[in-house]
Amino acid sequence: MAKNLMFQGTGSSVGKSLLTAAFCRIYSQMGHKVAPFKSQNMALNSYITKNGLEMGRAQVVQAEAAKVEPSVLMNPILLKPSTDKKCQVILKGKVYKNMSAMEYHKFKPELADKVKEIYDELHNQFDIVFLEGAGSPAEINLREHDLVNMGMAEMADSPVILIGDIDKGGVFASLYGTIMLMTEEERKRIKGVIINKFRGDVKILEPGIKMLEDLINIPVLGVIPYSHLEIEDEDSLAERFKKNKNTKGQIEVAVLYLPHVSNFTDLNVFETQEDVNLRYVMRGESIGDPDMLIIPGSKNTIEDLKYLRDAGLEKEIIKLHRQNKIIFGICGGYQMLGKTLKDPHHTESSIPEINGIGLLDIETVFETEKTTTQVEAEVTAPIDYMENTFIKGYEIHMGRSFLGKDAKVFSNIKVKLGEEVLIEDGAINEDGSVIGTYIHGVFDNIKFTRSILNHIRAKKGLDKIESAIESFEEFKEQEYDKLANIVRENMDMETIDKILNGEL
């Protein structure tokens, strides 16, 4: 019989996603067939599976850690906020409908049976399923119809480990308070506690651990040290956007942080390049004078374009263009760089048509059907420094873009969902300084990324250099192994095994 274990937290950003990934890798290394599962994920970061279905990237990371192919069975519900009051509900990889928070809450009882059915389907395919909760299980106003925390644990009949974040302070109070707000039946499911993100000598913590265990009558199974790992982690997004890790980089890459930014994981690879200083331009900040500006994807392209315009950032973008800096748009960012954006069906906005930034000779028309596909493409842009480079990635967008006479095709898609095709993608201007593509993950292709960075280096009079990593995939594998080692060394793995075996 397949086994399971669920990780819940005292709140958001305590490290549930990464610890779930850690256990996926640990038990995969032990020879088990392991899968992650999160019934409901709210995120603008999503991924397209090999069969063209959409799921949250957090479960993709966990699947990679488990060394299995990502599947929408691992994340049956994805909520993508489109406005302050509504979100797009994606059910089993496909758009279901847009709903308000109240509409969705009323829909939950109907969803519960679907979630249980999907979980059982996944559970039957694997030896162990590691489940992840969302936010806190102690939100007593949301307990009714819960299908992501203790409600999901009950559906899956899963034991639970509760995670607290000591880096924020108040970890003992948050663990104790969370447990005390649970019902007696819910408390019985909690088999252990983890204290995460600890800095310093654990001996100082030991008296507090003993007192907590006496109060809650549940063992603390591990104290995980604060560690820096280059792994996608939605729980630490605020830290990622604020930090500017490599201030000594010879090339500055600036990324516009949009109000509805999506798939910002497209930019993570730059943090692995030693000559790059990656900087996110937050609300109220100036773009400055970067060597390359990236406009990322957006869940609401028209509203984010208005934001750029109202904030005065559009003028800064045009100024950079006049200085011959590289400007790169991905998906929604690509659409913004065009001349016109039309939304005849009001797919994204009540605005039927709006002028774009105008740096690419393209027109975009939003459609009612979403494009979701994995692709392989050849960069065919007539620019010497990036010609004939092959890239892999995926598309998630609602619009189609049409090229005018002053725009050249960026790439030709050769494989779509595993089948050979020939489809034009993206656009580039005459001198190669403005580039746009619908392909997410384009920069994960190291050869392509280095071709742009070395072109910038040449313009600055610097020698060409190679990447310290050969592929982003291999780099991520090394990081998953590091994560597994850290957690294994600081956890009571013998007790974890007993919990999984139903002995506790």
What secondary structure letter does DSSP report for 226? Answer: P
Residues marked active site are found at: 331, 440
Phi/psi class of residue 429: alpha, beta or left (left: φ > 0; alpha: ψ in -120 to 50)? beta
CA-nearest of 410, 394, 431, 407 to 339 is: 407
Rounded to whole angstroms, the Cα distance separating 448 from 444 reads 8
Tokens linked to 494: 């013998």
Given a contact cutoff of 8 angstroms between Cβ atoms, the answer to whether 298 and 292 are in contact is no
- b vs e for 205-234, b when ≥16 Cβ sit within 10 Å of the residue's Cβ? beeebeebeeebebebbbbbeeeeebbbbb
Helix H or strand E encompassing 250: none
Question: Quick check: 31 and 158 in contact, CB under 8 A?
Answer: no
Strand partners, 254: 279, 293
Angle, helices 472-489 vs 16-29, to 10°: value is 90
Q: What's phi and psi for 79, nearest 5 deg?
A: -105, 120
List the one residue out of 34, 36, 28, 27 whose CA is nearest residue 7.
36
DSSP sequence for 131-177: EE--S-TT-GGG-TT--SSHHHHHHHT--EEEEEEGGGS-HHHHHHH
Tell me how far CA of residue 46 lies from CA of 77, 191, 206, 297, in angstroms: 12, 32, 40, 11
Q: Which residue has the tokens 């979630």?
A: 115
Q: Which two tokens stand for residue 62?
A: 């966990």
